[in-house]
Structure 1
Amino acid sequence: MLTGISNVAIAEETQLTILTSNEPPMNFEHQGKITGLITEYVELLRQDTPASEPIKLAPWARVLEAGRTQPNTMIFSTEKSPSRSPNFHWVGPIMAKRWFFLAKHPEDYSFNTLDDYKQVENIGVLRADNRESWLLEQGFDNLYPVNNLEQAYKMLQEKRLDIVLTGDVEHSYMVRYFPEFNNLHGVFDVNVAYSYLAFSKFTCESILQAWQHAFEANKNHPQLQEMKKKWGQHIEQTLVLKDGMFSLAQADSVAIRQPKGK
């Protein structure tokens, strides 16, 4: 057994694996390069942290499983929830997202309470996504998991889904780059969730401390302001940056019905 090796030395030899999934405009692949608002955020923080492997992109279900089981692994952008919280170490929050139900014919789905939506035939959700888990915890049994939002929006257009649970930032991207989706309308405000950088429970303490320090030290970095402007222009919306966390300005949010309770 080797002795006398410091945690710092071990961290220097241990490279962090960084994984993400296709979730524009936060993280996605474009012309063979992984890019996006949160991808650029991670790249900024990498400059102040120990060596890590290049960011890799995979389906979210696979990314989530790797984060739960593999040592020295960070996954993003990961929404924190009571069920997920014990399984990871968390750095952030880095983004707030407002969830809402989307419909092609809002007059048919403008209900008063969340529970009212349990009566619709099917609700499109992203597979293994926090939104799917959250609705299951609320007692929904009418969910239809899909692999990406573009697929869900197309199925909604084709009337193969009744409604889709989406987020305000993602929706802004979808209607900006797929104008055919502009006839889809928000019908019910569901929840607000916060995204973090999530580290596996088997990650070296020195690596965790370095990333937490980098997050705290860069909350007011000028590059974050540049990212806010750049990606706000990409989705033709106003992004807000406060205490290191991005969100969509309330004035630019989709105007939809507020919940009255369960």
Structure 2
Amino acid sequence: MNSRGRIHFFLALASASIIGVSAQAKLRILTENWPPISYEEKGAAKGMAVELVQAIQKDLGNKSSIEVVPWARGYKLLQTSPNTMLFTLIRNPEREKMFTMLGPVARGNTTVFSLTKPQRHFKDIEVMKAKATVAVTRGTAFESAARKEEYKNILDVRDTEMALRLLLAGRVDLICDDSLAIRDALTRLKIDHHEINSVKELAEYNLYLGFSPGTDATEITAWKKSLETLKKNGQFASIYKKWLGEMKPPSRVEVIYPLDKLQRAAKESSSLHSARN
């Protein structure tokens, strides 16, 4: 092989190495402090969804650590950093446009809560929406739900526990969150569950693993196949029961891909046509 041939050979070899490294870019895995789904205890990630993700990692030979970060930070990284996964995501139209979502991995509901014996009383729901202060975790689907319901005075806070503490201290009138997360926070804070009252359930939802734009499609496919295996062999159901008791686990597996502009336009047109009919 002449010198020119050797140069071409080594350039091709280097190029192949770079492509291989790129294709195997390490997936960064993030979650939030939202017990019992995910939380940090003594420096380690814990929770129902954490145990599920660890089972998938074991199946795939994935060695990435699970980082517990504030929701707002994790959500920002999911929007801006390729090869990032954040769990768990509530599926809604806004997120359908942005992320690839795998699941469902759990079910929940968005509910507005008050104290059983509130300091302030409102004669009806419309007055409550106009005058009550509602605490929500910053940047979450619960904040979006409260704004969609047209609550006028919304206070963004760090997490569910902070919202609950503010409610118990009488510094806010309401909180909007998931009923399971509220029950878990009450238990951890050793507060009688009867002190909190459900005002209105706004919506039921499914929770997903969220993958950022630019994440390798083969990586997502591998996670999907692993989740399917765990649901078929009963391991998913066992994890679900361990953390969530007798709540029925979701059985199906689906990948929700981001809708492009043409797909969104077609979907919105179809919805409008259905509404007219």
- Report the TM-score when normalising by structure 2: 0.77
2:199 corresponds to 1:191: no
| Cα distance, 1:17 vs structure 2 | 0.5
Match of 1:76 in 2: 87
The 8 Å contact of residues 145 and 202 in structure 2, kept in 1 or not, is answered as: no
Match of 1:135 in 2: 146
Q: State the superposition RMSD in angstroms.
A: 2.6
Paired positions, count = 239
| Cα distance, 1:177 vs structure 2 | 2.0
Match of 1:219 in 2: 231
Letter of the 1:222 partner, please give it: G
2:72 corresponds to 1:64: no
Which SS does the other structure have where 2:205 is aligned?
Answer: strand
Instruction: Name structure 1 gaps, 5 residues minimum.
Output: 246-262
Aligned with 1:172 (options 183, 186, 199): 183
Aligned with 1:241 (options 238, 243, 249): 249
- In structure 1, how many angstroms separate the alpha carbons of the residues matched to 2:226 and 2:102? 10
| 1:117/1:81 CA distance change after superposition, 3 Å | farther
Which SS does the other structure have where 2:249 is aligned?
Answer: strand
| Cα distance, 1:242 vs structure 2 | 3.2
Q: Deviations over 1:141-161 (max 9, x none)?
A: 311111111111111111110
Match of 2:51 in 1: 40
- In structure 1, how many angstroms separate the alpha carbons of the residues matched to 2:214 and 2:40? 28
Instruction: Name structure 2 gaps, 5 residues minimum.
Output: 1-10, 254-277
| 1:7/1:181 CA distance change after superposition, 3 Å | farther
| Cα distance, 1:216 vs structure 2 | 1.9
More helix by share: 2
2:100 corresponds to 1:104: no
- In structure 1, how many angstroms separate the alpha carbons of the residues matched to 2:238 and 2:226? 18
Which SS does the other structure have where 1:14 is aligned?
Answer: coil
| Cα distance, 1:190 vs structure 2 | 1.2
The 8 Å contact of residues 110 and 188 in structure 1, kept in 2 or not, is answered as: no
| 1:109/1:166 CA distance change after superposition, 3 Å | farther
2:238 corresponds to 1:230: no
Q: Deviations over 1:54-86 (max 9, x none)?
A: 111111000001001101010001111111111
The 8 Å contact of residues 27 and 38 in structure 1, kept in 2 or not, is answered as: yes
- Report the TM-score when normalising by structure 1: 0.81
Percent identity of paired positions between Structure 1 and Structure 2: 23
